[in-house]
A = this chain, B = another copy of it.
Amino acid sequence: MAINGTVPSSGRLATVYSDVQISRLNHPLPLPAVLKSSFKIVDGPPSSAAGSPEEIAKLFPCLFGQPSASLVPNGADPTELGESLKIGVVLSGGQAPGGHNVISGIFDYLQDRAKGSTLYGFRGGPAGIMKCKYVELTPEFIYPYRNQGGFDMICSGRDKIETPEQFKQAEETVLKLNLDGLVVIGGDDSNTNACLLAEYFRSKNIKTRVIGCPKTIDGDLKCKEVPTSFGFDTACKIYSEMIGNVMTDARSTGKYYHFVRLMGRAASHITLECALQTHPNITIIGEEVSAKKQTLKNVTDYITDIICKRAELGYNYGVILIPEGLIDFIPEVQTLISELNEILAHDVVDQDGQWKKKLTHQSLILFEFLPQAIQEQLLLERDPHGNVQVAKIETEKMLISMVETELEKRKLERKYAGNFKGQSHFFGYEGRCGLPTNFDSTYCYALGYGAGVLLQYGKTGLISSVGNLAAPVEEWSVGGTALTSLMDVERRHGKFKPVIKKAMVELDGAPFQEFASRRDEWAIKNRYISPGPIQFIGDGSNDISHTLRLELSVHA
């Protein structure tokens, strides 16, 4: 029986750590070989944009066309030191396991290669930059967060630097702190913002360079050079542990259908990865629903058909995965919600339902098809702007209720003779702040270390890029990719806005294809896998995600 240890820290003051947390604190992180050697930076060819290059060129006159950068060993003395730097770092948006290791990576780079440097952590996200709220990061401050989950070292925030005044505030901060560089750890929006800052500083001849780092458990910030966003690996493994446990429970009890909603609104990568890890009976992928223009009734029927088939085989249990953002992918639901927002903004919802006459025919049919609890939720739960709060709809409960209704109908028609009991689950917050896996720990450390290199070599407007991830860590590649090369534009309020397009599940991509080729078997036969709890030592502890493995094996 080990005793919980007290770890001294300015941030996690006198925090008590579990045995596992302590063992992770002292877990040594391997670096890619190129970062351990002496290296030089090699620039690639000029870059373009993911779409609308003319517009992107206009929006980023200083940065557009920048080459990507790769680190290559140069055979020189690796103890050679660069000049000391002043760097700021900020966490932006929702938590993802590994964020602390990006910061450790930057810090250790500065300690190893740019002695005398200073690292500032901006507190509470981009607002910390604008308000110049920061803390100077020291070895003692950083130590208790090494390989630990969460973003609490400096915390995060969802603010954006958007208005001219806010850019001015950011400028004042970087001038006041005399920053050579700024690392923005965030998702697609935050990296777009990082690039706008880089452009702004460059255009004003401010020396501060800006480097982004790809963060999001949702896995929807990726491209060829950035094979995955950090946090995805850990979050999916935590959810898959839980799903595997629920599967064993389902098989043991034999009487429940578990409907598991998984975090990830914009894209269904998490749901797909968890399916590949655990082999559920039914998995709904939002991108497929959208591509096939399916209705809620289609989805319900798909689930119900499989439940009926399983009942004939004697299985009155199963596990069903549903992406959090499912209803965002169903066009008819979007139409209904926008009609409701319109109606509710102007009319009173009368008891005898006169208001319903304002719905279009198709929306009325859909509304009547919805379970009563969801109807009420649509009418009652509103955000401060009066809009329906889609995120609050418990899709898994809605589907249970709709499947129940459909099964009762089929029972009357003598097409179904099984027993159906639904159990709902939502796995979300449990996964955002877990202890990062070995993969996320090492990947984040390399992302941070690499960001330090890019700043020292005067790069700006790049996203830290660590590749060749299916190989041993030694062989990982390190570099930076022009953020403008990931961008397209969207027209908002009559203006072009640059955006890094979210990477959606590609229906012709290897992960979806693998899933699609096996799901019929999983539906009928029970091929459940229980991944078990994340291990930090021993078998399976260094596995990468199925998504990454499959995508890399195609690229290779």
Residues of A within 8 A of B (CB): 1-2, 4, 15-24, 95, 148-152, 155-156, 238, 241-242, 244-246, 248-249, 251-254, 256, 258, 277, 279, 423, 425, 429-435, 470, 527-540, 542-544, 549
Residues of B within 8 A of A248 (CB): 95, 148-150, 152, 433-434
Closest 9 CB pairs of A and B: A19-B540, A20-B532, A533-B533, A150-B248, A248-B433, A23-B539, A151-B252, A249-B433, A533-B534
A536-B535, A536-B538, A543-B1 given; A245·B530 CB < 8 A:
no
Partner of A18, one of B95, B432, B530: B530
Q: Judging by beta carbons under 8 Å apart, are B539 and A20 in contact?
A: yes
Partner of A252, one of B152, B245, B277: B152
A16-B527, A23-B540, A530-B21 given; A252·B535 CB < 8 A:
no
Q: Whole-angstrom distance from the CB of A285 to the nearest CB of chain B?
A: 21
A1-B470, A252-B150, A530-B21 given; A429·B95 CB < 8 A:
no
Rounded to whole angstroms, the CA-CA distance of A76 and B150 in the bound complex is 58
Q: Whole-angstrom distance from the CB of A539 to the nearest CB of chain B?
A: 4
Rounded to whole angstroms, the CA-CA distance of A155 and B316 in the bound complex is 14
Rounded to whole angstroms, the CA-CA distance of A254 and B148 in the bound complex is 17
Q: Judging by beta carbons under 8 Å apart, are B2 and A242 in contact?
A: no
Rounded to whole angstroms, the CA-CA distance of A105 and B237 in the bound complex is 31
Q: Which residue of B lies closest to A251 (CB)?
A: B152
Partner of A435, one of B17, B21, B434, B532: B532
Q: Judging by beta carbons under 8 Å apart, are B18 and A540 in contact?
A: yes
Q: Which residue of B lies closest to A542 (CB)?
A: B1
Residues of B within 8 A of A155 (CB): 252, 254
Residue of A4, A256, A430 with most partner-chain B CB within 10 A: A430
Q: Judging by beta carbons under 8 Å apart, are A244 and B425 in contact?
A: no
Q: Which residue of B lies closest to A435 (CB)?
A: B532
Residues of B within 8 A of A530 (CB): 17-18, 21, 148-149, 435
Q: Which residue of B lies closest to A538 (CB)?
A: B537
Rounded to whole angstroms, the CA-CA distance of A151 and B1 in the bound complex is 29
Q: Judging by beta carbons under 8 Å apart, are A244 and B18 in contact?
A: yes
Cross-chain pairs A/B with CB under 8 angstroms, 16 sampled? A1-B470, A19-B543, A22-B539, A23-B538, A24-B532, A149-B530, A150-B252, A238-B245, A238-B533, A242-B430, A245-B434, A246-B430, A248-B433, A435-B532, A533-B535, A535-B536
Rounded to whole angstroms, the CA-CA distance of A2 and B430 in the bound complex is 26
Residues of B within 8 A of A279 (CB): 16
Residues of B within 8 A of A253 (CB): 95, 156
Q: Judging by beta carbons under 8 Å apart, are A20 and B423 in contact?
A: no
Partner of A533, one of B20, B246, B256: B20
Residues of B within 8 A of A529 (CB): 4, 16-18, 21
Rounded to whole angstroms, the CA-CA distance of A22 and B538 in the bound complex is 11
Residues of B within 8 A of A149 (CB): 245, 248, 530
Extra A-B contacts (11), CB below 8 Å, given A152-B252, A242-B242: A1-B549, A16-B527, A19-B539, A23-B540, A155-B252, A245-B433, A245-B434, A423-B429, A435-B530, A533-B534, A535-B535
